[in-house]
Amino acid sequence: MSFTTPSDRFLQPPSGEEYQPEYRAPSAYTPLHAFQLPKADSRQYQQQYSDLYFLRLAKLKPAAEKVGREAWDGFTIAGEKARKVDRVLDVRQGALCWVTGTVYMNLPLKPNILDDVAKDNYAAAPPPRKTYLDPSNPDQTQVMLEDESGRLRMTGSMLRTTHLVTGVIIAVLGTENSNGDFEVIDIKVPDFPPQPSRWEKAPTDKTESKIKRIDNNSGKSSKIAFVSGLGITGSSSDTLTLELLTDYLLGYTETGEEDNSPANISRLIIAGNSLGNVETMDAAAAMNGDAAAKKRAPKKYELLPSIPVTIMPGETDPANFSLPQQGIHRAMLPRAKTYCSDGLPGDTSVEPGWFDNVTNPWEGGQNVDDVLRYLDFADENGNTDGDSAGETSVQVMEAMLRWRCAVPTAPDTLWCYPFQTHDPFILQACPHLFFIGNQPHFKTVVVESEPPFRLDGPDTEMSNSADEPLATRVRLVSIPKFHETGELILVDSETLEVEVVKFQMLLNATTAISTSTVLLVPYSKRHVLKYHEWMKDEGIQQATASEPLTLSEEYAMQQSWRQDADKLTFIACLPLSFPPSFAKDSISEEDDAPERMIGDTNLFLRSDDDDDDDDDCNEAEEKRVIGEIELMIAEKRNQGQGFGRGALLTFLWYVASHEGEILDEFLQSTTTTDSKKHGKMKCLSVKIGKDNARSLALFESLGFEKVSPGPNYFGEFELRRYGLDVDAVVKLANTYGLKDYRELGYSGE
């Protein structure tokens, strides 16, 4: 969802009415410090990682055995009673038994030391693997059970229907076959750990003397804001969405609804990957300085006087790579100490803590990403769509709770510190809220503990009596990458209800288009004064069916055109002067200065009103969209020189090249549209006055045809073009001599 600002809340004269100041809801945070590493000079890496697995097995084996005993006690097959064996090497051929151990998976594409050697010795390192499985040869996958006595290979159809990864502690029921493999009949995991109440102390290896508590007496619902994957690179593409996010959190974009007020947000948690792939500057840029970067630098500090911020490190952040990642060093945020004595609260990437009555374990996403490399969630065609990508993240999160381990694949395929005294990744208490950052899509579900299930008896239902504990309930939240989705997640600290605030950044917000005839750039604030002067012309008002606006209204309209997903707007400028071979990736402010402006071109999108009556279209889950084009070359001295044709061809080239992205952006912003539907451009439409012979001839020469032989009631002809193919547009461009189409970077507001 995205909030719309009522226009009547801005630019109003003072009313003399008394206003109460807005105060942010209070926040309490107590980290549990379960993942703090020894000081750098005290860390030891000579010890074996096997100790970590043995520690995990020793801790979780009793829990897994308890679940197995409840399920299989008295279980028989053909008169033979299942018996428990203490070690995997005590399993005997043909005997029905159950045993507990650690899963080890031998996968054909698991990383090996040769990959690391290749990274050090070759310019092009091997690409990161998306999966450790080999779909072409599934028989190469081997699943084993091991403990301190040895290792036992497992087989059976149960393994193909149960999600397992290396490092999980399980109890298995079955029998050893003649090949020495253990035929698995059933599998049990430790299941949810005990869940403390909101203010009850959770058991940890390192305890805190006191949990901070702040009573919220304001009557407002307190919410925690989560964002991940900001992906800041220092480029101009970061500017718009980050400014929208900052303005929203600071309360500059009032929602008009008290329940949705940013004042209810008590804390912001940045869940990893604040930085992206940082761009390198050449010597000239370094000497001159990046003006856009300088302007953005204060943004991360602007929030600090207003809202508590917790930053978690992620895979791309300046922190240690192996888990548990330690907090970002205060030297990386030098100005933060102005607002808090120890710099920003930086937490380790899987550090649990108490936030406003809620226990939270979290991760920057590395653990889920690595577990997914062990599992096959693809369909029969080998594809994973967007909806299933969100589902798989929460499925893995639920599995981690039932495994009682947040990072099961460490240290096998996920680097971690070789702990010797305890396994910090074990979940000793069940959280109330479990979130993971940097996922492809947002998804949230509530999972509950289940009553014990017996193979040889009826299900036992959860009792609600005073003698029985209530069912464990956990809110799972998959937090998407902000730089890809523009989504901020809000969680109510009392009810754990979840909201999504989406910040739109249009596809063309940071893109300029250069051709031999014209330069198209996004409509920015520096263009408003010149555009406002154009729109005072009565002839232009009549041609564009526009009403004159005040300057303040013109600025508001510029923001609407820049942010609304149903509009695609470019300002047309004189073409760039450098030759096509000149290596230039972005334009400068001089290239689209007001004196170089010649007009504009717009696309207004709307859903086809006849779409709901078209059964074929609905069955294909495609939403048909009509795009209405407007083109203006403002000043007479620039008309008749080919700028109109050049601007229109360049615009059509861009729309044809990005049709899918433009339509997806539009449909996602339309609340009445089924989010599962994809868009298809039904046609492009333009309305031209009957006396504008030059414009009629221009559009007809580019494949637009009149809908009717005569003008409509308003004296306009509607022309439409069906089918927008890139090759057809390129052919038209070549016919009319338009060359050197390039998309360049653009910075401007």
pLDDT digit string, tens, across residues 520-547: 999 988 899 999 999 998 888 887 778 8
Same domain? 31 vs 54: no
Same domain? 633 vs 670: yes
Same domain? 391 vs 531: no
pLDDT of 349 reads 46
pLDDT confidence tier of residue 297, bands split at 50, 70 and 90: very low
Mean pLDDT to the nearest integer, 696-723: 92
Nearest to 152 by CA among 141, 142, 163: 142
Counting every residue written for the chain, the total comes to: 749
Prediction pTM value: 0.69
CA dihedral of 13, 14, 15, 20, whole degrees rounded to 10: 140
pLDDT of 442 reads 93
Structure tokens given for 547? 């009403």
Tell me which of 58-62, 349-353, 458-462, 631-635 is least confident: 458-462
pLDDT digit string, tens, across residues 210-232: 444 444 555 567 899 999 998 88
Q: Greater confidence, 51 or 721?
A: 721
Any domain includes 153: yes
Q: What is the DSSP letter of 278?
A: P
Instruction: Give the residue numbers spanning the domain of 240.
Output: 7-11+27-37+194-205+217-276+291-502
Angstrom distance (rounded) from CA 202 to CA 31: 12
Q: Do β-strands 473-480 and 433-439 pair in parallel, antiparallel, or remain unpaired?
A: parallel
Any domain includes 367: yes
pLDDT confidence tier of residue 727, bands split at 50, 70 and 90: very high
Structure tokens given for 721? 């073009």
Same domain? 560 vs 693: yes
Percent of the chain at pLDDT exceeding 70 = 73
Residue 68 pLDDT exceeds 60: yes
Highest mean pLDDT among 165-179, 491-505, 676-690: 165-179
Burial class (CB in 10 A: 0-12, 13-18, 19+), 720: middle
Q: Greater confidence, 174 or 363?
A: 174
Same domain? 405 vs 391: yes
Give the chain's end-to-end CA distance (angstroms, integer). Answer: 23
pLDDT of 503 reads 78
Same domain? 496 vs 621: no
3-state helix, strand, coil in the chain (%, to 5): 30, 25, 50
Tell me, what CATH number does 718's domain have?
3.40.630.30
Tell me, what CATH number does 441's domain have?
3.60.21.50
Beta strands in 228-341 (DSSP E): 265-271, 309-312
Q: Are 440 and 229 in contact (CB under 8 A)?
A: no
Structure tokens given for 371? 């577990």
Any domain includes 282: no
Angstrom distance (rounded) from CA 37 to CA 319: 13
CA dihedral of 364, 368, 370, 371, whole degrees rounded to 10: 160
Angstrom distance (rounded) from CA 546 to CA 273: 45
Tell me which of 121-130, 190-199, 271-280, 385-394 is least confident: 121-130
| CA atoms lying within 13 Å on the CB side of residue 245 | 27
Residues 6 or more apart whose CB falls under 8 angstroms from that of 83 comprise 95, 96, 97, 98
Any domain includes 82: yes
Mean predicted lDDT score pLDDT of the chain:
79
* Residue keyed to tokens 């306009």: 716
Structure tokens given for 153? 């290979």
Residue that terminates a domain, selected from 482, 502, 522 = 502
- Please, what is the Cα angle at 569 between 745 and 707, to 5 degrees? 135
Any domain includes 210: no
* Residue keyed to tokens 């600025």: 555
Q: Greater confidence, 325 or 504?
A: 325
Residue that terminates a domain, selected from 450, 473, 502 = 502
Burial class (CB in 10 A: 0-12, 13-18, 19+), 49: middle
Question: Given phi > 0 = left and psi -120 to 50 = alpha, else beta, which region is 243?
Answer: alpha
Mean pLDDT to the nearest integer, 190-200: 80
Instruction: Tell me, letter by letter, the H, E, C secondary structure of 609-624.
Output: CCHHHCHHHHHCCEEE
Highest mean pLDDT among 36-40, 226-230, 324-328, 542-546: 226-230
- Please, what is the Cα angle at 241 between 238 and 242, to 5 degrees? 70
Structure tokens given for 388? 């299933």
Total domain count for the chain?
Answer: 3
